[in-house]
Amino acid sequence: MAGLAALLALPALAQDTGSPPEPNAKPALELVERRLGVMGTELQLTVLGEDKAHLEATLDAAEAELRRVEDVFTSWRDSELTRLNAHAGKGPFEVSQEQARLIARALKVGELSGGAFDITFASVGKLWDFKADPPRLPTPEAVQAALVHVGYAKVKVDLERSTVELPEGTRIGLGGMAKGYGVDQAMKIYLERGIQHGIVNAGGDLKALGLKQGKPWEVAIKHPRDRERVLAVIPVSNACVVTSGDYERFVEVDGKRYHHILDPRTGYPSTGCMSATVIAPEAALADALATALCVLGPEEGLKLIDGLKRIEALVVGLDGKVYRSKGLPEAKRN
């Protein structure tokens, strides 16, 4: 596990963003928000400040950065990642330092989770097409044949040379981490431009900075089967909340539910839990861990979380019961 902490860690956000305003304090800061579609999901960008023109320019820059990240890591159209996959079996392939670093981090999460999070899931994931009409489901024989090419240890990354090598038949997908990484990058834009308060929310991958008019931002965790039922309201400041679950993209065929989070060990949709919410300092890691928890389930998943510093989780099991990590304080419960 050497080098794990260095690869997973990112600089923490500033911790002291001020206290709630006094009666004679300055007027409330102006809030500017933008909603759009990026990275296959709904994106919400929010910033607070005194200069509206500067806030709008910051949102322009954050949006542009998210679109850039999408272009680098997408597997749905031509990109550096698709070209890497096309080079499988042909030796090391030179990629950008950014691509190499994120792949290396993803492999470390694969190691940390015992393969529950595995970017080579795409080797079998390509067989599933939930958007087709009717949905395309693979045969058991096809799944077994593709599983031969799954395994994070098959991927070789050379950070010094900025190369990645895939064996023939192996394909990687970064959908379980790239969205969170994009959120981190957008927040980095906020910080570089002097923003002290704001959020980036990409379809459940949320990062909060500072306060909302003097109070922590609040994130409502909803039940995956009853979206009107709130399980917990979590106050968040300078932290991330990421939720993954089997309710996001799924189809029902012959009365059976199939969803998009695959178990890399079986090649079939995961059966660990209905949903998993991870609270962490940065979104890329939280994104990957939430996916891993959907595969591992409450018992194994929370054992993993309880062994990590500054990370908490709330999991809804297949039985509908809510499970929490040991460090999740009472204040964060509904």
Can you read off the two tokens belonging to residue 28? 């409330």
Residue numbers of the domain that contains 168: 80-173
Count up the domains in the chain and report the number.
2
166 with 227, same domain: the answer is no
Q: Give pLDDT, residue 223.
A: 85
159 with 265, same domain: the answer is no
Please, which residues bridge with residue 245 across strands?
Answer: 275
| Domain limit, last residue, from 173, 202, 226 | 173
168 with 248, same domain: the answer is no
Q: Give pLDDT, residue 5.
A: 37
d(CA 211, CA 190): 14
Q: Give pLDDT, residue 245.
A: 86
Specify if 154 maps to a domain. Answer: yes
pLDDT by 10-residue block (mean), the chain, 334 residues: 39 40 65 90 94 98 96 93 98 98 98 97 89 82 97 98 98 95 98 98 94 93 83 91 79 67 94 94 97 96 96 94 85 42
Can you read off the two tokens belonging to residue 211? 């306060």
Q: Give pLDDT, residue 15.
A: 37
Specify if 200 maps to a domain. Answer: no
**Residue 95 carries which DSSP code?**
-
Specify if 56 maps to a domain. Answer: no
Question: Which of 306, 282, 262, 326 is closest to 115 using CA atoms?
Answer: 262
Specify if 54 maps to a domain. Answer: no
SS3 123: helix
306 with 223, same domain: the answer is yes
Specify if 275 maps to a domain. Answer: yes
| Domain limit, last residue, from 173, 190, 205 | 173
87 with 167, same domain: the answer is yes
133 with 240, same domain: the answer is no
CB 313 within 8 A of CB 279: yes
- Which residues, 6 or more positions from 171, have their beta carbon under 8 angstroms from its beta carbon? 85, 88, 120, 122, 123, 126, 149
Specify if 35 maps to a domain. Answer: no
SS3 44: strand
d(CA 286, CA 264): 18
**Residue 197 carries which DSSP code?**
E
Residue ranges of E strands in 103-249: 156-158, 163-165, 197-202, 205-209, 217-222, 230-236, 239-245
Q: Give pLDDT, residue 258.
A: 67
Which pTM does this prediction carry? 0.87
Specify if 11 maps to a domain. Answer: no
| Domain limit, last residue, from 173, 204, 228 | 173
Query: Which residue is associated with the tokens 């599933």?
Result: 128
166 with 221, same domain: the answer is no
- What CATH number corresponds to the domain at position 304? 3.10.520.10
Taking the CA atoms of residue 148, residue 153, residue 159 and residue 165 in that order, the dihedral angle to the nearest 10 degrees is -20
232 with 333, same domain: the answer is yes
Specify if 48 maps to a domain. Answer: no
pLDDT, tens only, 5-58: 333 433 334 333 344 445 555 668 999 999 998 887 899 999 999 999 999 999
Can you read off the two tokens belonging to residue 195? 């923003």
- What CATH number corresponds to the domain at position 113? 1.10.3980.10
159 with 239, same domain: the answer is no
Q: Give pLDDT, residue 329.
A: 66
